[in-house]
Amino acid sequence: MIRRLLARPTGCFAVVVLTLLVVLAAVSLVWTPQDPFRADPFQQWAAPSPAHWFGTDAAGRDIASYLLAGTRTTVLVAVGSGIVASVVGIVLTAIGSLTTRWVREGTAVLLDILVAFPTLLTAMLLTAVFGGSLGVVVVSVGLSFGVTIARVARGEIRRIARSDYVVAARASGVGPLGVLTRHLVPNAAPLFTVQLSLAMATAVLAEAGLSYLGYGAGSDTASWGNLLADLQTYIGVHPWSATWPGAAIALVVAALSLLGDAVRDATDPRLTTGDRAATGSPTATGTPASDDPPPGEPTDDDPATGAPGADRRAPDGTTTTPGVTA
Amino acid sequence: MTRFLVGRLLLLVVGLLVASIIVFATLRVLPGDVAQIVAGTQSTPAQVEQLRQQLGLDRPVVVQYLDWIGGVLRGDLGRSLVTNGAVGPEIAQKLAVTLPLAGMSLVAALVLGVPLGVLAAVLRRRAGGAVIGFVAQAVAAVPVVWAGMLLIALFAVTLHWLPTQGFPLDGWEEPGRAFSSLVLPALTIGAVEGAVILRFTRSATLTVLDADHVRTAAAIGLTRTRALLRHGLPSVALTVLAVLGVQIAGLLVGAVVVEQLFSLPGVGRMLVTDVGRRDVTKVQSELLVLTSLVLVVGFAVDVVHRALDPRQREVGE
């Protein structure tokens, strides 16, 4: 699977950028070119030079060192949100599929409702209660995507459970556990990975947005969002200085969302042959009839076609999430 | 259709109810007493107790909730804990900035996203299509704050075409000035959301390009462009409409950050300020208004989509 991932230019780009991010975060633990917080009043707004690769900011801090130190925050927020989203998603999926009928139906309706709540508003609500912190960013993105994962997984699990190969497996005597481990988990895994990488991309954007609003990382923490917020104050004088943190955030976010696309392309057996762009929707050739609406219709419960559904995944893997615009 | 409408309306009502309960319940677990926060650190316990009774915070939580939601249903959104000003009129005044901003952003997103998305699909095997796709991917990854800063740097600081920040103090008295101060903010949100719409449009158009009816239309003598325009675009439009519900929610929420960046007196900026002040009664009403807008827009989009899409009609309709 890794080889198939790397065979695609987008997958290769994503893996390289994210590996670099993690390596830089590890390096920043032991070394940065200069102290990221040391303000040098004689070096304000220095142009890029061998001493200051990306120049300095209004306080005379070395932007390159600060960016490097900020990678830790970015990795922390992304990974943390991913973990929270996974836990919430798996618990909600379990409740939504293993309990009694009434609980299942109730969970389904609740998920339909919760999925519409924008991430940023959840974050503002939690900030009003607990004050702004990276923890609030992680929890609000994690909760939002946990709900989305459970919402998307519901349709996918129903689809897989009704598919011919599961029916065949059952008929030939495979038990529920066997179906779960041999068929359900491997088939639902790509979808899960896609949502997870989107959750992480959203987390990086949300950190930037909330830090900008003053509710993200504290001022004693080096974060890309904080740097962007600091530089914004001087937009009239040094409009282009924000390029560094802005581009760094955009690069990581793009890598994370491309990783999702690439993982899905590399693992979806329906896509292993042929030009996906030419066939259009990945499921154009083989969408199994979903729940109640007419066959072939994009429906809420069919995450693969995904046009109007709550998961809002376009056939090319774009997912929009309410409030990602943080 | 009637059955769908009733079911969807029910989901909307339950959604609004759940939203109000979540917002209220979360704000009531506030660490630290609301009365204590309002009274300040210099207050005596007796003063805090008096304030608690005055604000009705000594009553059971359920009674407080019903009191709040009853007021909301009568159009009374409560009073600020900090300034004691009525919340409802203030939100209404701020919506006069936020709603036009969201509307203009939507127009910008559609104008940018839809034609370019169709173009990217038509040019799928040429360099142009790849370039558009690449740019859309990049723009969708840009944090809104930075996008706004770049636009300010280009159009306000360098070219001096538009105001950098702010909104006329007299509101819409001079429509021209008010409008021009919303252009850059709307372009900021519109560019980021437009990139997402572009990608949806592109994939919807790709599917349609290979659809049998479009191929047939081309086969019986229409040019490929006319076949696409006449027979393909209606279904692309429906796909775009379907994702619009979430996109409009994104526009409204994007306004929170953009209003701050451009110093616009909108609901988003009001929310950010009140969260900072821990003005609980204002925050709960602001969040309720914003989530209600999101839920109602989602409802409206779903209903319109259902009404327009012939494939979703029930038999005999």
**DSSP annotation string for B232-263:** IHHHHHHHHHHHHHHHHHHHHHHHHHHHHHTT
Residue with tokens 């677990």: B29
CA distance A208 to A215: 10
Q: Given CA atoms B40, B45, B51, B53 in this order, what sign does their dihedral have? A: positive
CB B261 within 8 A of CB B192: no
* pTM (two decimals): 0.80
N residues, chain B? 317
* Helix pair B87-122, B127-141: axis angle to 10 deg: 160
Q: Decide if B144 and A325 are in contact by the 8 Å CB cutoff.
A: yes
Q: Does A9 touch chain B (CB under 8 A)?
A: no
**Contact state of A307 with B243 under an 8 Å Cβ cutoff:** yes
Three-state SS for A319? strand
The residue ranking higher by pLDDT, A320 or B228, is: B228
Can you read off the two tokens belonging to residue B259? 């209003």
What string of DSSP letters covers A206-241? HHHHHHHHT-SS-TTS--HHHHHHHHHTTTTT-TTT
pLDDT of residue A295: 35
Report the alpha-carbon angle A243-A250-A55, nearest 5: 25
Comparing alpha-carbon positions, the chain A residue that sits nearest to B289 is: A121
Tens of each residue's pLDDT in chain B, 317 residues: 788 889 889 989 999 999 999 998 888 776 566 777 677 767 788 877 887 777 777 778 888 888 888 888 888 888 887 777 888 888 888 888 899 999 999 999 999 989 999 888 888 888 888 888 888 888 888 888 888 888 887 877 777 777 777 777 777 777 777 777 888 899 999 998 899 889 888 888 888 887 788 878 878 877 777 777 777 788 888 888 888 877 888 888 888 889 988 888 888 888 988 888 888 888 889 999 998 988 898 888 888 888 888 777 765 54
CA distance B198 to B110: 8
Classified as helix, coil or strand, A62 is: strand
Closest in B143, B152, B208 to A205, CB measured: B143
**Higher model confidence: residue A86 or residue B54?**
A86
pLDDT > 70? residue A113: yes
Phi, psi of B57 (to 5 degrees): -85, -5
Distance CA A321, CA A316 (A): 15
Assigned CATH for A2-271: 1.10.3720.10
Per-residue pLDDT averaged across A12-27, rounded?
83
Both structure tokens of A266? 């590399």
- Range 148-207 of A in CB contact (< 8 A) with B: 201, 205
Q: Measured between CA atoms, how close is A205 to chain B, in angstroms?
A: 6
Q: Is B6 on the interface with A (CB under 8 A)?
A: no
Show which of residues 11-30 on chain B sit within 8 Å of chain A, judged by CB atoms: 11, 14-15, 18-19, 22-23, 26-27, 29-30
Closest Cβ opposite residue A320 in set B243, B302, B312: B243
Answer yes or no: are the C-beta atoms of B79 and B86 closer than 8 Å.
Answer: yes
Structure confidence at residue B244 (pLDDT): 84
The vertex-B305 CA angle with B214 and B100, nearest 5°, equals: 115
For A161, other C-beta atoms within 10 Å of its C-beta total: 14
Q: Which of A236, A246, A325 sits opposite B257 (nearest CB)?
A: A325
- Classify the C-alpha dihedral B134-B139-B140-B142 as positive or negative: positive
Adjacent-strand bridge partners of A56: A62
**Nearest-angstrom CA–CA distance, A93 and A51:** 52
- Polymer length of chain A: 326
The verdict on A118 touching B (C-beta cutoff 8 Å) is yes
Looking at residue A58, its amino acid is A
Mapped onto helix, strand or coil, the DSSP state of residue B86 is strand
The tokens of A186 are what?
């491997």
Please check whether residue B195 is in contact with residue B254, taking contact to mean a CB–CB distance below 8 angstroms: no
At B225, phi and psi to the nearest 5?
Answer: -65, -45
Instruction: Calculate mean pLDDT across residues A307-315.
Output: 38
Residues of chain B contacting A21 with CB distance shorter than 8 Å: none
The alpha-carbon gap from A6 to the nearest alpha carbon of chain B, in Å, equals: 19
d(CA A39, CA A62): 8
Residues of chain B neighbouring A128 (CB-CB closer than 8 A):
27, 30, 274-275, 278, 280, 283
pLDDT in tens, A140-161: 999 998 998 888 888 888 888 8
Point out which residues pair with A319 in neighbouring strands: A313
DSSP annotation of B79 reads B
| H helices present in A62-163, as ranges | 63-98, 101-114, 119-130, 134-162
Quote the tokens at residue B85.
Answer: 């000003």
CB contact under 8 A, B145 and A232: yes
Q: What is the pLDDT of residues A280-306, one digit of tens each?
A: 333 333 333 333 333 333 333 333 333
Tell me the C-alpha distance between A75 and A86, whole Å.
16
Which residue has 């004689």 as its token pair? Answer: A42
Which chain B residue has the Cα nearest residue A322?
A: B250
Greater pLDDT, A53 or B17:
B17
pLDDT at residue A84 greater than cutoff 90: yes
Quote the tokens at residue B102. 């969201």
Per the prediction, chain A carries an average pLDDT of: 74
Nearest to B283 among A128, A205, A246 (CB): A128
Tell me the β-bridge partners of A62: A56
pLDDT recorded at residue A46: 67
B317 touches chain A (CB under 8 A): no
- Contacts with B313 (C-beta within 8 Å, 6 or more apart), sequence order: B1
pLDDT the model gives residue B104:
92
CB contact at 8 A, A236 and B133: no
- A residues 235..294 contacting B (CB < 8 A): 235-236, 239-240, 242, 245-246, 249-251, 253-254, 257-258, 277-281, 284, 293-294
Q: Give the pair of three-digit tokens for residue A52.
A: 């200051």
Q: Which residues of A touch B1 (CB under 8 A)?
A: none
The sign of the dihedral angle between the CA atoms of B301, B307, B308, B314 is positive
Q: How many Å is the Cα radius of gyration of chain B?
A: 24
Point out the residue among B145, B203, B246 whose CB comes nearest to the CB of A212. B145
Which residues from chain A sit within 8 angstroms of residue B261, using beta carbons? Answer: 212, 232
Is this complex's ipTM strictly greater than 0.90? no
